[in-house]
Every structure is written in C-alpha cells, then in structure tokens.
Amino acid sequence: MFIVLLKYAAPLEQIDYALPDHREWVEKQYERGLFLASGRQVPRTGGVIITRPMPRGKLEALLATDPWAEQKLVKYEIYEFEATRTAPELVKLNESVLQP
C-alpha cells in the first residue's frame, strides 16, 4: 500500500482554480478502486492519499496524470508500506493481510 503526501508548490489561488479538475481525477481513481482515502492536510499545505497495493511504477504513472501534477502545482512524497495488521472493518480492503 502507499501513503502519498501532496505538497502544494503554487499559491492557493492556483490550487483552487485547478481544484475541480483534480477532484474529477480523484473521483475516477475511486471508481477504479485504486484509492482508499484522501483529503486535505491541516493546515492546508497539501493533501494525503492512501492507495490500494499496486506496483510503484503504476502509482507514479497514475500520479503523473493528476491535473495538479500536469500543471506542476504539487509535489508528491510516496511512502510504501505493508499493512500487516488492519482494523476488522478494513480487512477486506487490505489485500496484503489476505495473502497467505
């Protein structure tokens, strides 16, 4: 799984202007089943995305299609981890726990 930290690299006015396109992109990733959670950081300096397990290269290619990335409005920090324990209500989402 991955935790992706988005750091704004542009003024909030530019971020907000491109926000509808970014939200549409995020929604598509949920529809595809790739994202598990996402939202703004507090204070609002960027965002956070938690993804399903996938190859890192696939994630990097996916992030490159984010309108914010295409406009160079954000920078990404990607943290990969193996969730060896999961709350009972999240077990079905964590493929790594289900593997023998």
pLDDT digits (tens, 9 = 90+) for 33-86: 999 999 999 999 999 999 988 999 999 999 999 999 999 999 999 999 987 877
Average pLDDT over residues 6-10: 98
pTM of the model: 0.87
pLDDT digits (tens, 9 = 90+) for 48-62: 999 988 999 999 999
With DSSP H G I counted as helix, E B as strand and the rest as coil, what are the percentages for the chain, rounded to 5? Answer: 40, 25, 30
The amino acid sitting at 59 is L
